[in-house]
Amino acid sequence: MSQYEISVEIKIKECKGSVDTKPVEQANGAFRLVIPEATASSIDECEQALLRTNFAAVRQALATHLSAVSKKKPRNAPTEKVE
């Protein structure tokens, strides 16, 4: 039985570019949300922005992982006719 590692890293840094309305998935599977400075400086608004991005990333990570698991062929798998 193989093991799986879960690791989480969240980065908040200054950037350039247009502000996003919702988290956008990147090519590497990460999620990115660009927020205005006012939001970044507000405890309440920054908390919400972080949670929105976090939940989207968690859902996507779970979906990607489960789909990958489903590609692994179990031993002694039953068979059935193609419908």
Partner 1 sequence: MQAHDTPYQVDGEVGRFTFTTHGVEQGSELRHRTSRWLFPPVQGKVWYRTCGFKEVALVHGVVDDSYRKTTALINRVRHQSAEDGTPSRTLCDTAEGEGQQILAQLERQADRILQEHHFSPEGEPQEEGAWGKASTCFSPEEVGEAIDACEVPDDWKAEMRTNPVSYEDPSSQVYTSMDDVGVKQQKAERDKKPPPKRRRKHPKEYVETTVAQVDHDDGSYVLVGSHMGGVLRLLLAFLLDNGLWKHGLTFLTDGQKTLQGAILRAFSWWGKVSLLLDWYHLEKKCKEQLSLAMKGRDLRNAALEKLRPLLWHGLTDRAIQFLGQLDPETIKREDAREGLIASLERNKPYIPCYAVRKELGLRNSSNRGEKANDLVVSERQKHNGMSWSPEGSVGLAAVTALVRNQEQDIWFDQNIVPFELARVA
Chosen residue from 12, 19, 24, 58 binding partner 1 by CB under 8 A: 58
At 16, is the secondary structure helix, strand, or coil?
A: coil
Q: What mask, x for binding partner 1 by CB under 8 A, covers residues 38 to 57?
A: -------------xx-xxx-
Does residue 24 interact with partner 1 by CB under 8 A? no
Report the nearest approach of partner 1 to the CB of residue 61 (Å). Answer: 9
21: left (phi over 0), alpha (psi -120 to 50) or beta: alpha
14: left (phi over 0), alpha (psi -120 to 50) or beta: beta
Does residue 64 interact with partner 1 by CB under 8 A? yes
